[in-house]
Amino acid sequence: MACINRQLIAILHYLTLIFLFISLFPSVYAQAIFKRQVTLMGSVFEITVVAHDQQEADKNTDLVIAEISRIENLISEWRPETQISLVNRNAGIQPVKVDREVFELTQRALVYSKMTNGAFDVSIAAMDKIWKFDGSMDTMPTAEAIKRSVQYVGYQFIVLDSLNSTIFLSRAGMKIGFGSIGKGYAADKGRELMKRIGVQAGIVNASGDIAAWGTQPNGKPWLIGVNNPFKPHHILKKIRMKEAAVATSGSYEKYAEINGQRYSHIINPKTGYPSTGLTSVTIYGPSAEFANALSTSIMVMGAREGNKLLRQYPAYKGVFR
């Protein structure tokens, strides 16, 4: 009996030491949520990581920022030195060799165009001189100007050569841009990088295009709120996310107001006019890029056709308003 008692006392003593160690050095075991906001790709990104301390969080956040900056320096149509800008300058002249990553992103964009029958089209960038959504536009473009600009839009005229990894815009005056899926793609790539180096959980929020992984330190899933476009600061739906993504397209934050009427920044590629009918579309599923492509397309297609499209991809769900 005395031997058993001594063993129990030894076990209790050992457990007490472990408890004291954890109490004195909680950072060894405990994790917390760290957030940072930064402007990238012309938008506010909020990067959330779960880490043991600020130093670890800063190191991992810096890696995400570097990755998104790398992507921006490849695909921005606003920076003259990027590969996409070079493609645009050579529209109607010659094919341009690009990195495989840029080629494959463009290739997927054409797939999105075909599956939506042209409701999604990266060559809509050619209309950036017609419509301005930065608060400076106060008169409608003329019907003739819109008609002229539409002739430069058409995914069918984007020629890809997989063997040589080239992109050719076959009509002079064409332009492509990834404003519709670029931030979703960047969010996915940020998440991919963090998982690859062993960061257990976090969120890359690219101004509403969100890629999340893992759980909060308390084991609960991330909780993402979908705003009600008709009631500011009201949540329409709460989405619980672990390994998931969400993207929202809408006309309630970025628009042109002309003669008391709001015009969405999401343009119908076929007509050249802003989309009508829906105010916002939120899509959630595995990939932020694909969710972004769906949300943009459905804003153009409308609720009825949008629901038909969404039913083809059961891994994705939507909220329309």
Query: Is 61 marked as a binding-site residue?
Result: no
Is 282 labelled a binding residue? no
3-state DSSP call for residue 148? Answer: helix
Torsion of CA 129, 130, 133, 138, to 10 degrees: 120
Backbone φ and ψ for 299, nearest 5 degrees, come out as -60, -35
Nearby residues of 124 by Cβ (< 8 Å), 6 or more positions away: 153, 177, 180, 267, 269
Q: Which amino acid is at 291?
A: A
Task: Give the contacts of 164 (CB within 8 A, at least 6 positions apart).
Answer: 95, 97
Contact 208, 281 (CB under 8 A): no
Task: For residues 149 and 146, give the distance between their C-alpha atoms in angstroms, rounded to a whole number.
Answer: 5
**Residue 285 carries which side chain, given as an amino acid letter?**
G
Which one-letter DSSP state was computed for residue 235? E
Contacts by 82-85, CB closer than 8 A, 24 or more apart: 84/176, 84/177, 84/178
Bridge-based pairing of strands 209-213 and 202-206 is antiparallel
Task: Give yes or no for a contact between 152 and 73, defined as CB atoms under 8 angstroms apart.
Answer: no
In 3D space, the residue among 209, 187, 191 whose CA is nearest the CA of residue 200 turns out to be 191
Which strands form 96-97's sheet, in the order they lie side by side?
96-97, 166-169, 158-161
**Residues forming a β-bridge with 159:** 168
**Residues placed in the known binding site:** 180, 296
**Residues placed in the known binding site for Mg(2+):** 180, 296
